[in-house]
Chain A
Amino acid sequence: MTEQTTNILIVGVGGQGVILASELLSEAAMQAGFDVKKSEVHGMSQRGGVVSSHVRFGKKVYSPLIPAGTADVVLAFEAAEGLRWAGQVSEDGLLVVNNQRIIPTIAHTKDYDYPEDPIGEARKIVKRTLALDGLDIANRVGSPKLVNTVLLGAISGELPIPGEIWEAVIRRRVPRGTEEMNLQAFKEGADANKAEIEKQSSLKV
């Protein structure tokens, strides 16, 4: 994995913290010694639009955009967004979806419906789909604002970035006084993911 570029696509709805999460991930990848590029479109994000952030790291990264269908991990902060971006996950890649639904105003019109079972649909597209109650975990640790750290924790097991580096970056980048809570949230995210993986593989047996 280290010779090749690792592609992580983080998606969600404006205001959910997608951009902060991709900031932390890029910073951690740089500290781990990789070349890094990250790209997203600002602008409409405050107003309920879709937000997607591409993070790429490896020995040398050229384009800031992940080629179609080559994301090693898609991390979706919102259920329907997980479905929207599922097609971008690579053959043996992973889709992590936060079990939260944000229903846009447009779903109140006759023309559009929010998908009934977005995560179930996503599973049909991506074999390795993990659903996570990020908000529950965050609330349990202490604040709904911790969702993005929980979700980063959930994908950390997939990435060639050592734990010490994650810890250092989280300590440096989160608001002062929330360091311990954030580290706890990160750990709970990682554990939740591990538990999901075990559950899924035991289902297969």
Chain B
Amino acid sequence: MVKIKKLPEIKEPTRTLLSGNEAIALGAREMGVYFASAYPGTPSTEILETFARLPGVKAQWSTNEKVAFETGIGAALAGARTMVCMKHVGVNVAMDPLMTFAYTGTVAGFLLVSADDPEMHSSQNEQDNRNLARFAKIPMFEPSDSREAHDFTKIALEVSERFATPVMLRITTRISHAKGIVELEPWPTPEVTGFKHDIERFVMVPQFARKRHHEVELRLKRLMRYSEESSLNRVEPGKGPVGIVTGGIAYQHVREVLPDAPLFKIGISNPLPVEAIRAFAATVERLIVVEELDPFYEEQMHAAGIPCEGKRYFPIEGELNPDIVAEGLREAGALNGQAPEIHPVGVEVLPRPPVLCPGCAHRSVFTALKKMKAEVFGDIGCYTLGALQPLSALHTCICMGASVGMASGVQQVEGSKRPVVAIIGDSTFLHGGITGLLDAVYNKAPVTIIILDNRATAMTGGQQHPGTGYTLQGEETFAVDYIKLSKALGVKHAFPTDPYDYGETLKTLKRAVSIPEPTVVVTTRPCVLYPVKLEPEPYRVLLDICNGCGACIRIGCPAVILIEETTDKGLHKVTIDPDTCTGCRLCLQVCPVDAIEPVGEIEEADKSEAEC
């Protein structure tokens, strides 16, 4: 068991400060949600991490979003209220079950939380998932702060049961990771009514699916009436000739800038309450739509013949903030006065791009691949940072699992003279790499797949996965063996390697790429941050030996630092930060003049000298 600290039960109404993610977890618990599943992904991860700590519920990390979603369908059809959470791109992975679950509909309440990431604070794209709820024809709720995240979660689950449909709660980074005051209520005991078959409803073969599609269209009409009448879509009366239509986080930015304007606040954005908006439009001279990312409301309003302006004044790209909203409103003539003068920012301060941690086991693999002049098809995780300087040793990143297929594709067209490898983290391999590897074996693609097994989903905060041996709620479980798995898929050559042994790693990788068949290399060192942060075990540089060649600087370790002191040739020498060096010894192994030694050894040597 890993000890998971449970959160105290809420027994009486409580006012507290919560992030949007925490508020959703607690709202779900208040509605009697019993089962929740997810695959981690910023900014959604803390929803399940919080929910898993509440007494009386079941919560699990699934292998990927599709499986999380399907497990959720099972739980909901068995009559347990259910929540499934993922980041925006996760919904792409879960799209297949989502589109047809919309047809069968649900038995118990089923909430899909889609956490979008406008501005791509930690994502590969900034798709606007409001489009997906509309595409799937399911209702969508858009909270604008923690309080609403909590309240809308409850209402959404109610709607899900009342209309027997999956529902989407669509949040963004500034909802997920912003805190606000929330009113919590006591919890019910969750119920599970049990699965009852209903072949015409749950078996989506054409003759039944056609009937269900008809039901979906009727349901949408009923939902439209609900949305038109719901108090979540409301008019806030105000002063002035310009009316605003807004929702989600944009509402807060608008209110910051225009506290008194008449405003239509959208809380249920699919189906969009166009008639209520039309009635509001009739009370103002001009209508301006303020929304983040796509013109989702605006286009539907245009289609309904409601005159309005929106993306003429506001960007489609990136997230909004009070300044961008103010600028757009000023340009539209809806806000008087000048932009406030801000102090001139003195100088451009150097950026701080994220870097692989000191001691990270991924570093030596990239150092070796660079030396081999390999073409490196990358994936998503901490190791994507291998693309940045000074390593610059990862050459593609599209989506989770893509590395394996892409490397195979290049090999199938003999598209590179260099060694071709795919590099993929353990969590990512289990999420979306296994089928790619099977495909490479089946189609005889001579690729090398490097699985970086650090026994954690490090990028998103060290979550458990099917290779770590523990579940989300801390129970011990089976841990997959990558070598055996590869062999079972038909890989004849699968090698483990210790990434802290640079020579061995280089040799193993060279051997793997020399075999004209699919090969697998698995690294064997755990993450330095998770489950526990490694204690420093520092090394140091012997300055009289250091020749300033920079080999250790080129591995890009934040603990290896250039200093003022130079060699005769004017090259800067280096030092090692004793507080952050974990003693992985990669710098020592690439140092051509043996100028690096463990601090401990030196101290002991000093001591024994003293004793003599």
Binding site for B on A (CB under 8 A): 13-14, 26-27, 30, 35-44, 46-50, 61-65, 67-70, 80-81, 83-84, 86-89, 103-109, 112-115, 118, 121-122, 124-126
Contact = CB atoms under 8 A, between A and B. Distances in A.
A81 B349 CA distance: 8
24 contacts: A13-B352, A37-B180, A38-B180, A41-B121, A42-B122, A48-B354, A48-B355, A62-B252, A62-B256, A62-B259, A63-B256, A64-B252, A65-B174, A67-B256, A67-B340, A68-B342, A69-B340, A87-B345, A105-B556, A106-B353, A113-B350, A115-B350, A118-B349, A121-B347
B177 A108 contact: no
B17 A49 contact: no
A63 B177 contact: no
A105 B355 contact: yes
Given A27-B17, A63-B253, 11 more contacts: A37-B179, A41-B173, A49-B354, A62-B252, A83-B347, A86-B346, A104-B352, A105-B558, A106-B352, A109-B390, A125-B345
Interface string B231-255: 0000000000000000001001101
Nearest to B42: A43
Given A38-B178, A39-B179, A106-B351, A62 B253 contact: yes
Contacts of A37: 145, 178-180
A159 B539 CA distance: 45
Interface string B300-337: 00000000000000000000011100100000000000
Nearest to B462: A46
B562 interface: yes
Contacts of A42: 42-43, 122, 177
In the complex, the 9 A-B pairs of residues with the closest C-beta atoms, listed nearest first? A69-B342, A43-B122, A87-B345, A47-B354, A39-B178, A64-B178, A84-B349, A63-B256, A44-B354
A48 B352 contact: yes
Contact of B322 (A41, A44, A65): A65
Given A48-B558, A62-B256, A70 B340 contact: yes
Interface string B337-373: 0001111111101111111110000000000000000
Contact of A39 (B122, B177, B349, B352): B177
A166 B368 CA distance: 52
Interface of B: 17, 42-43, 121-122, 145, 173-174, 177-181, 249, 252-253, 255-256, 259, 321-323, 326, 340-347, 349-357, 382, 385, 389-390, 461, 529, 553, 556-558, 561-562
Contacts, number: 153
Contacts of A70: 340
Contact of A83 (B179, B253, B346, B561): B346
A67 B323 contact: yes
B321 A40 contact: no
A126 B342 CA distance: 11
A1 to B, nearest CB: 18
Given A35-B181, A41-B177, A88 B352 contact: no
Contacts of B556: 105
Contacts of A14: 354
Contacts of A113: 350
Contacts of A41: 121-122, 173, 177
A30 B181 CA distance: 8
A172 B206 CA distance: 60
A104 B249 CA distance: 33
A49 to B, nearest CB: 5
Contact of B145 (A64, A83, A87, A89): A64
Given A37-B179, A105-B556, A108-B562, A115 B349 contact: yes
Contacts of A27: 17
A125 B345 CA distance: 7
A46 B529 contact: yes
B172 to A, nearest CB: 11
B178 A87 contact: no
A104 B390 CA distance: 13
Contacts of A112: 350-351
B85 to A, nearest CB: 15
B344 A125 contact: yes
B121 A43 contact: yes
B340 A87 contact: no
Contacts of B180: 36-38, 61, 64
Contact of A103 (B343, B390, B561): B561
A124 B346 CA distance: 8
A108 B352 CA distance: 12
Nearest to A122: B346
A61 B179 CA distance: 11
Contact of B343 (A39, A64, A86, A105): A86
B192 to A, nearest CB: 34
Contact of B352 (A26, A35, A49, A69): A49
Contacts of A39: 174, 177-179
B571 to A, nearest CB: 13
Contact of B561 (A88, A108, A124): A108
A68 B344 contact: no
A62 B351 CA distance: 30
Contacts of B553: 108
Contacts of A61: 180
Nearest to B572: A108
B343 A87 contact: yes
Contacts of A114: 350
A39 B172 CA distance: 12
B338 to A, nearest CB: 13
Contact of A69 (B145, B343, B353): B343
Nearest to A83: B349
A49 B342 contact: no
B255 A62 contact: yes
A30 B145 contact: no
Contacts of B122: 41-44
The winner among A35, A64, A70, A112 for most chain B CB atoms within 10 A is: A64
Contacts of A125: 343-346
Contacts of B350: 80, 104, 106-107, 112-115
Contacts of A103: 561
A28 B326 CA distance: 30
A80 B253 contact: no
Contacts of B382: 47
A169 to B, nearest CB: 11
B561 A80 contact: no
Contacts of B353: 48-49, 104, 106
Nearest to B144: A62
Contacts of B349: 80-81, 83-84, 115, 118
A109 B145 contact: no
B319 to A, nearest CB: 9
A83 B349 CA distance: 7
Contacts of B249: 64
Nearest to A84: B349
A68 B357 CA distance: 32
Nearest to A82: B349
A37 B122 CA distance: 22
Contact of B345 (A63, A86, A104): A86
A64 B326 CA distance: 15
B294 to A, nearest CB: 21
